[in-house]
Amino acid sequence: MITGVTVAVIAGFATFLVRTAIENANRPSTPIDILGFNPDIIGNDPRIDALKADAASAMQESKLAGSREGRKPFGPDDSVEIPKEAPGGGGFLPADFPPGSSPDPGSNKALGKQMNAAMGWESEWGCLEKLWDKESHWNERAMNRYSGAYGIPQSLPGSKMASAGSDWQTNPATQIKWGLGYIKGRYGSPCGAWGHSQRVGWY
């Protein structure tokens, strides 16, 4: 009798293992994202895209007007301003910048290079460097004067970056993390985002 019970237990356990293995094999695989971003959350928003396109047009018009009026050549700084306090939104109040701190674009860029490599995009560093040079000069406090986009990756609105951390208003690492997740979800890689930016003036 004991032998019969033992055989029944072993047979039942073996059946459980086989069934579990089959279920796991048939379960759809989910790619692992080291940043923890779900591209479906980032998504495309036609209203935001329209705001970006309008801002790019306004920048272009300003550039043309400046050249006609003999003003100094249009430079990337013309589209970026540094607000006195970090913008709020998405349940966050505007925040004071940490006292005594100032942006360090060089350190931000070095951090961005490391995080970009961790994504497996080492060969596309040049694209990311140029993209965020154009967007914000790697300044975590940069705000686009035409659209209100904010931070190193120029998130619109800035509060979207809260999905990467509640310190999105002032922390370059949080902004970079969100920006890389956005690029992966929408363009696949930095060179995809840079190519789009070169074609239409925004990404």
In the chain the first and final C-alpha atoms are separated, in Å, by 72
Task: State the total domains in the chain.
Answer: 1
Contacts of 192 (CB under 8 A, 6+ apart): 183
Residue range(s) defining the domain that contains residue 70: 42-94+101-200
The Cα 27–Cα 15 span in angstroms is 18
Note whether residue 90 is domain-resident.
yes
70 token code pair = 């003999």
Contacts of 166 (CB under 8 A, 6+ apart): 92
Note whether residue 24 is domain-resident.
no
At 74 the pLDDT is: 43
Note whether residue 19 is domain-resident.
no
- If one counts every other C-beta atom within 10 angstroms of the C-beta of residue 194, the result is 22
Note whether residue 15 is domain-resident.
no
Burial class (CB in 10 A: 0-12, 13-18, 19+), 29: exposed
Please count the residues of the chain.
203
154 CA to centre of own chain? 9
- pLDDT tens string, the chain, 203 residues long: the values are 555 444 444 444 445 434 544 443 443 333 334 455 544 445 578 898 888 887 777 777 776 666 666 655 444 456 889 999 999 999 999 999 999 889 999 999 999 999 999 999 999 999 999 999 999 999 999 999 999 999 999 999 999 999 999 999 999 999 999 999 999 999 999 999 999 999 999 99
193 token code pair = 């985002």
Note whether residue 54 is domain-resident.
yes
User: For residue 89, what are the β-bridge partners?
Assistant: 92
Note whether residue 8 is domain-resident.
no
